[in-house]
Amino acid sequence: MFLVLWEFEVKPGCEQRFEKVYGPGGDWDSLFRRDRNHARTQVFRDTSKPRVYITADYWISRKSYEEFLQAAGNEYKYLDSVSEELTANERHVGSYETIVAPCENP
């Protein structure tokens, strides 16, 4: 599994629109779900800073995510540009792969 995390600080008054665009069934989710290797997207809101959100995009593998970016690059860039009006700050937290347990020696 491959996980991509983004943190967003949403502009005041844009919270509801942000949740619609980034949340389940929203523009980003719809774009990602077109790819069979997209596992799911989850959106989290910070409990102490209600305008701060984390998005967690799960992919089958890093390779499948990279292939998606290649194939849907123009759509991704366009959606990113129109979504920028909702946020004051955006930060790529990181990209993570699951750890495969090493084989035990007999």
Report the candidate in 54, 59, 42, 48 with the shortest Cα–Cα distance to residue 96. 59
Taking only the tens of pLDDT, the chain with its 106 residues reads: 999 999 999 999 999 999 999 999 999 999 999 999 999 999 999 999 999 999 999 999 999 999 999 999 999 999 999 999 999 999 999 999 999 767 766 5
**What is the reported pLDDT for 100?**
79
Q: Indicate the SS3 state at residue 26.
A: coil
**What is the reported pLDDT for 104?**
64
- Model confidence pLDDT, tens digit, residues 37-60: 999 999 999 999 999 999 999 999
**What is the reported pLDDT for 106?**
57
Q: Which residue has the tokens 């007999």?
A: 106
Please state, in angstroms and rounded to a whole number, the distance separating the CA atoms of residues 4 and 92: 8
In the CATH hierarchy, which fold is given to the domain comprising 2-97? Alpha-Beta Plaits (3.30.70)
Alpha-carbon dihedral angle through residues 63, 6, 31, 43, given to the nearest 10 degrees:
120
Domain boundaries along the sequence of the chain: 2-97
